[in-house]
Amino acid sequence: MAAKTRDRIIQALSNGPLSFYELALKVYPPDDYPKAWRYSRHGGPPGCYMTLSAMIRRMDLDEWSRGSGSANRMVMLPHRMKVHANT
């Protein structure tokens, strides 16, 4: 059974901060989740970006920006969060 999105996020961030794009690649590898990387025909980001953004807000992860774009949006586990990913 595939790990839950929350557990994949915790596992990906357990070694330190990642850019939003790097996190998306680790949480939704294109080979395993090809549909997650499709763009809407109406424009906008890939579908996995919307789900990942919602999970970042729900998990109250630390975020900051080094500029515009997903490669410059950084995400990390808060210092107060205990890492208990089911691996």
Closest CA to 9 of 18, 39, 33: 18
Q: Count up the domains in the chain and report the number.
A: 1
Of 33, 21, 26, which Cα lies nearest the Cα of 7? 26
Query: Cβ contacts of residue 80 below 8 Å, gap of 6+?
Result: none
In a domain, 46, yes or no: yes
| 82 domain residue, yes or no | no
Q: Which tens digit of pLDDT belongs to each residue from 28-85?
A: 999 999 999 888 778 888 889 999 999 999 999 999 998 888 788 899 998 766 555 4
pLDDT of the residue at 1: 41
Domain range for 33: 5-76
Residue 54: inside a domain, yes or no?
A: yes
Q: What is the pLDDT of residues 1-24, one digit of tens each?
A: 467 999 999 999 999 999 999 999
CA dist 79 and 81 (Å) reads 6
pTM of the predicted model over 0.85: no
Q: Is residue 84 part of a domain?
A: no
Between CA 25 and CA 40 the distance in angstroms is 18
Residue 26 lies in a domain: yes
For residue 72, tell me if it sits in a domain.
yes
Q: Which two structure tokens, joined as six digits, stand for 33?
A: 């989740």
